[in-house]
Amino acid sequence: MKRIYLESFLGLIILFVASLIGYEVIVYQLNTDYDYLLEEHEAQAFHEFIYPIYQEKGEDYTIKQLEKLATSSHMLLVAQEMTHLPPEVRVVFDESPALNTAFDEDRNLWFRFEPNSPIFKLSENPNSPIIQAIHFDDNVVWVFFLAGFAIYCVLLIWFLSRRIRTLEKVTIDFASGNFEARAETTSAKAVGSLNRRFNEMAEKVSRLITSNRMLTNAVAHELRTPIFRLQWQADLLADTSLSKEQNKYVTSIVEDIDEMENMVDELLYYAKMEQPDAEIQSSQISINSFIQSLLPRWQRETPITISLLESEISDTTTLVDQKLLQRALDNLLRNAMRYAQRDITLKIRAQCECLCIDVHDDGCGIDETDWPHLFDAFYSAHKSRNKNSSGFGLGLAIVKQIVELQNGSVSVAHSHLGGARFTICLPKIDSSLSS
């Protein structure tokens, strides 16, 4: 909003200055300047008024009267030599002997009684309090202009921001998963046609996402029955007398069916976590003790050494859903098991107001170009992590959903072991509050 305010304020000033310049060019330069023309007529009338006095009373008397007039009018009357005249005044008097009045660039009046008489300058007295007050008032007008522009911009931005904040709130609700959120389209709340266009977009996006979710859930659920039948038939087939080569094929079929079942389970779990009203049952746990309890189970799944480094912080208490956190850690550990060579290391550390869990592996690592998309559903890093070992592309997406449901974050970086480092950060609970 600050930027919009500054742009509006500068825009008004530029428009005002451009209007003044346009007025100056059109009225005074492209057409006759009637103000100057009137001043020249007044100057000529002034000379015609004083010239008879000059002829009748003489030069000294006329000068004294002019000095009185100048004093009363808060003007200055100064006699000047011909050599000290401004160029534009000298040109007038040299080239037009019949003219006895002229103006300089500052519109000060220069006059003489006749061609051979002294030349006088009649100008405002800068030391006069009245003249100073007039100039001050003229300058204050510009201050009022600027203040008026500033107040107008404040009111305009305030008026717009009220409506924009309402639309912004609806946008945030929609982005958070509330696909029923819609912007008000009444004239008192709408920002032009933007609210109506947003609602049209939200309606289309909502229908698309809802239909895709329904299709995914329906397909995943419907796949369970044929997969179960295939498993049952494959198990029956495996119990019959088969040749060695036939057994190999049956074993491969069973493995493929198990993989399909796991993929369906992942799809259903991902769909469940994608719901905005996913249930969270949070409780206070010690992350250190929680991970220690999971280490034996993880170690049974792989010959790779899995270790938890000793934490440098004494209090590792946080508020989380244990089942969801376990699922997130399971996904990260099994992801590391696919690519690690010898070691997987976990570390708990503090970062600002968060507790962070680092999962390091000594595998081939992940190219930085894949990092922004690594937690997207069905995305698989295509360079260092091939299709045969990359899973279904849902594991890390589920980790992100679980962590964000608990007001945390997950990220990826290079590991000091040479592979990848995945980090889960969760809000830390103060030990004084947990007692």
List 345's β-bridge partners, or say none.
307, 360
**What is the bridge-based pairing of β-strands 305-308 and 343-351?**
parallel
Class of domain 283-434: alpha beta
| CATH topology assigned to domain 194-274 | Helix Hairpins (1.10.287)
Residue-by-residue DSSP string for 106-122: T--EEEESSTTS-EEEE
Question: 398, 422 in Cβ contact below 8 A?
Answer: no
100-120 pLDDT, tens per residue?
999 998 899 999 999 888 999
- Backbone region of residue 270 per phi and psi (left: phi > 0; alpha: psi in -120 to 50; beta: other values): alpha
List 320's β-bridge partners, or say none.
283
Which of 66, 179, 173, 176 lies closest to 123, judged by CA?
Answer: 66
- Give me the phi and psi of 194, to 5 degrees please: -65, -40
Cα separation, 256 vs 258, in Å, equals 5
208 C-beta neighbours (distance < 10 Å), count:
11
Q: Specify the pLDDT at position 295.
A: 93
251-280 pLDDT, tens per residue?
888 777 877 777 777 666 666 666 655 667
Q: How distant, in Å, are the alpha carbons of 29, 99, 119, 129 from that of 125?
A: 29, 25, 18, 9
Which of 357, 360, 295, 364 lies closest to 325, judged by CA?
Answer: 357
* In the chain, domain spans: 32-125, 194-274, 283-434
396 C-beta neighbours (distance < 10 Å), count:
23
Q: Specify the pLDDT at position 273.
A: 65
Which of 346, 393, 390, 331 lies closest to 364, judged by CA?
Answer: 390
Question: 344, 361 in Cβ contact below 8 A?
Answer: yes
Nearest-5° angle of CA 136, CA 141, CA 144? Answer: 125
Question: 250, 242 in Cβ contact below 8 A?
Answer: yes
Can you list the residues of the chain whose pLDDT is less than 70?
1-2, 4-5, 212-221, 266-279, 381-392, 430-435
Cα separation, 132 vs 268, in Å, equals 83
Q: Specify the pLDDT at position 53.
A: 93
Q: Specify the pLDDT at position 293.
A: 92
Q: Specify the pLDDT at position 386.
A: 45
